[in-house]
Chain A
Amino acid sequence: MTPLLQVEGLRTHFFTRAGVVKAVDDVSFAVDRGEVLGLVGESGSGKSITGYSIMGLVDPPGRIVAGSIRLDGREIRELDAESMRRLRGNRMAMIFQDPMMTLNPVLRIDRQMTEAILAHDDVSRATALERARDALGRVGIPSPDERLRAYPHQFSGGMRQRVAIAIALLNGPDLVIADEPTTALDVTIQGQILYEIQKLAREAGTALVWITHDLSVVAGLADRVCVMYAGRIVEQGTTAQVLDAPLHPYTQGLLDSVPSRNARGARLRQIAGMTPSLVDLPDACAFRERCDRADGACGEAPPMRVAGGDPGRGARCHHPLVPWPCP
């Protein structure tokens, strides 16, 4: 069976004055219907740009320079602008990080919701309005009729993110890319929203790509995890595989810095050093400068190697924590 979303060898580069920024460089992964994929990595690792690339929302000076993105078996990089528009917000949707910024401040909620329906469905305004109200109710917004006539500034951050989620789910998409939608919210609201999205996605069989820098979020949510570093996926596997038996030193570093996974009072270990500049990145392992396992071999970029014969499990590392071929 073909996966719902299949990304292969995706490269999205930004052509800036300072040089070529390889924000996404040879990224491959697949997501099945109803599956939740966690895309994890530090700030600047290329998670959002991966999402934008799939949605066809990369702005100049950025450009997808190579790779294939197949939605339901269909190559969407070959689609013209209008066909792509018809997919966006309809078959695939995206939710952004900062709910304070994603809604247009000068337009009423009803307008921002109905326009998303009317862009794809030939229905009456009244029908659209009804669907919008139901959608608000589903994401747990009280008295939706009244709230439809409000402006974004009349909502709290958590409520705005609920509205954004309602908008993303309006047309029953097959794929939702959630770009750190809870990062800007306080912890209790975070939990509620995580729960709601998960529930809604499960009910509708929607595939979910959950972007986050927080491994503890992924633990309770994702079926599978991809760890990104400097524009590349450095490790992938099921959530249990990646969290309980990491292969890549970077994943191990991320795990060591998660508070809840460590004993109380134990010192958290931060990964030493900084993410490298993505401008004109040399053809070596990008983690080399920060890795305590690095040696001469790491001057050459490691390929993604499949571990233990499981095609969904692998890492890009010459010296993984469990030596190759990693059962």
Chain B
Amino acid sequence: MSVYVVRRGLQSVVVLFAMSLIVFLGVYAIGNPIDILINPQADQIDRERAIAALGLDKPLWEQYVVFLKSAATGDLGHSFVHSTPALRLIVEKMPATMELAIAAMLIAVVLGIPLGLWAGLRPHAFSGRAIMAGSILGFSLPTFWVGLMLIMVFSVMLGWLPSNGRGPTVEILGVDVSFLSLEGWRHLVMPATNLALFKLALLIRLTRAGTREALMQDYVKFARAKGLSNARVIGVHVLRNILIPIVTVIGLEFGSVIAFAIVTESVFAWPGMGKLLIDSINLLDRPVIVAYLLVIVAIFIAINLAVDVLYSALDPRVRLSDSKG
């Protein structure tokens, strides 16, 4: 197990290193930030001084080496625009995104698993079919469009919910959160629902398919032959088995919820990391873009590790062995 963790840690470092290289080159290719950052009226001397101050006068490989050296000490560079550390900018915005992503995932899980279970138990009934039809909508409607529709209906037409921002936040343990006040809830519910929709549809389908498959297994028939109640057969025997793929998917999808929060954050002007990324791209603020992408990759790696550990806890047939990749 400990060998396993060390191995996974080393793998993560390699992945991060490779990612940094790709991202660095990619961002370099997007465009030259100087054109945006420096006053067009500035004279040549000012211009060159600014370029040197940002380290942009050096060749690309040297810039990369400088970046790597400071990255090794935890410093991902300073924002060109704000001249604060890029990492700090991102970490400041992280709670907003995390709160949104967790709220969205909770909505998807709390609704998706029961609905999927229901649809799996009654595949031919009207209710089961209706749930499936709904999940197709959840899959096919584009997130930004649904977001705009939500705003149209609930903010513009009905005036029930605010259309943008986070509302007032409350600080707990040094982190700002919205969900502790009613006003915060009113701001959170619409973007969270918007972000949840796709995952909700996914979880419904996954749970339904798993339920239908499990119901055909001999162990379910045997459980019933033992005289167990229906509630126990479904709640223990079926659920414990389908939970394995579901937990895996929830974990892996959580990373993509964080990443795809970009769209929802833009639509609802939610002040999170995604919005920061879009703003940084507009200003070609390279260090922030690079830092954001590396943070996302790091989150994905951490989630993957957590999922593997959880998976082995849920499925007795899987043990984290040192031979596993």
Q: Which A residues form the contact surface with B (CB < 8 A)?
A: 52, 55, 57, 85-90, 93-94, 96, 98, 101-108, 115-116, 119-120, 151, 153, 164, 167-168
Contacts and interface: CB of A to CB of B under 8 A. Distances in A.
A151 B317 CA distance: 8
A164 B222 contact: yes
A103 B226 contact: no
B316 A106 contact: yes
A111 to B, nearest CB: 8
Interface residues of B, number: 22
Contacts of A102: 218-219, 222
B244 interface: yes
B314 interface: yes
Contacts, number: 78
A151 B224 CA distance: 20
Contacts of A89: 225-228
A85 B225 CA distance: 8
A104 B219 CA distance: 5
Given A104-B237, A105-B241, A115-B232, A88 B316 contact: no
Given A87-B227, A96-B222, A105-B316, 10 more contacts: A52-B221, A88-B225, A93-B225, A101-B218, A101-B219, A102-B219, A105-B219, A108-B316, A116-B228, A167-B222
Nearest to A93: B225
Interface of B: 217-219, 221-229, 232, 236-237, 240-241, 244, 314-317
A179 to B, nearest CB: 10
A119 B218 contact: no
A168 to B, nearest CB: 8
A85 B218 contact: no
Contacts of A103: 219, 222
A203 B227 CA distance: 24
A153 B315 CA distance: 11
Nearest to A61: B124
A96 B226 contact: no
Given A104-B240, A104-B241, A115-B232, A153 B227 contact: no
Given A96-B218, A153-B317, A104 B227 contact: no
B217 A106 contact: no
A86 B223 CA distance: 13
Given A85-B229, A119-B229, A104 B223 contact: yes
A106 B244 contact: yes
A116 B227 contact: yes
A22 B30 CA distance: 70
Contacts of B244: 106
A106 B218 contact: no
Residue of A106, A107, A108, A120 contacting most chain B CB atoms (<10 Å): A106
Contacts of B229: 85, 119
A289 to B, nearest CB: 32
Given A104-B240, A106-B240, A115-B228, A153 B316 contact: yes
24 contacts: A57-B224, A85-B228, A88-B226, A89-B225, A96-B221, A101-B217, A101-B219, A102-B218, A102-B219, A104-B223, A105-B241, A105-B315, A105-B317, A106-B240, A106-B244, A106-B314, A106-B315, A106-B316, A107-B236, A107-B240, A108-B316, A120-B227, A151-B317, A167-B222
A-B interface, 9 closest residue pairs, ranked by CB to CB distance from nearest: A89-B227, A101-B218, A89-B226, A88-B227, A151-B316, A116-B226, A104-B219, A102-B222, A94-B225
Nearest to B217: A101
Nearest to A91: B227
Contact of B225 (A57, A86, A153): A57
Contacts of B315: 105-106
B120 to A, nearest CB: 14
A15 B73 CA distance: 70
Which residue among A52, A98, A101, A153 has the maximum number of chain B CB atoms within 10 Å of its CB?
A101
B227 to A, nearest CB: 3
A120 B221 CA distance: 17
Question: Which of B219, B223, B226, B316 has the most A CB atoms < 10 Å from its CB?
Answer: B226
Given A103-B219, A106-B315, A164-B222, A119 B228 contact: yes
B62 to A, nearest CB: 55
A115 B219 CA distance: 14
B227 A107 contact: no
Contacts of A93: 225-226
Nearest to A81: B230
Nearest to A107: B240
